[in-house]
Amino acid sequence: MSELQKLAKDRAYFKWRLSGQVLPIQGLRSSEIELVNQIEKLRKQLIDGFITNSRVLGLKAKSRCFCGRAKEDHIDKCKRCREACDSM
């Protein structure tokens, strides 16, 4: 495995863990909920910039649709999901 492949694997694992994180807020004080909200905001920033940062590191990162297929950067869904939504 090359250095770039290892980097891509490590970053994909990190993003997977970060994206799947759900923080329950039951039983927290308002000051704690405020901190959780800050964490969520930072997490969203990390996820939103992830593709760009991967490309800066030299990886051929592709934007992904929620279904997992590659999509164009500026469009929210892949072609197949857009067609499925349009036919509803």
84 in contact with Zn ion (CB under 5 A): no
What is the closest distance, in whole angstroms, from the C-beta atom of residue 81 to Zn ion in the complex? 3
Nearer to Zn ion, 12 or 81 (CB): 81
Smallest Cα–Cα separation from 6: which of 53, 43, 57? 57
* Using rule CB under 5 A, residue 63 touches Zn ion: no
Q: 77: helix, coil or strand? A: coil
Question: What is the number of alpha carbons within 13 Å of residue 22 lying toward its C-beta?
Answer: 3
Q: Which residues contact 21 (CB under 8 A, 6 or more apart)?
A: 43
* Cα-trace Rg, the chain: 17
Considering only 25, 35, 67, 75, the residue that binds Zn ion (CB under 5 A) is 67
Return the range that interacts with Zn ion (CB under 5 A); candidates 1-9, 12-20, 26-34, 71-79: 71-79
Q: Which is nearer to Zn ion, 9 or 79 (CB)?
A: 79
What are the residues binding Zn ion (CB under 5 A)?
A: 65, 67, 69, 78, 81
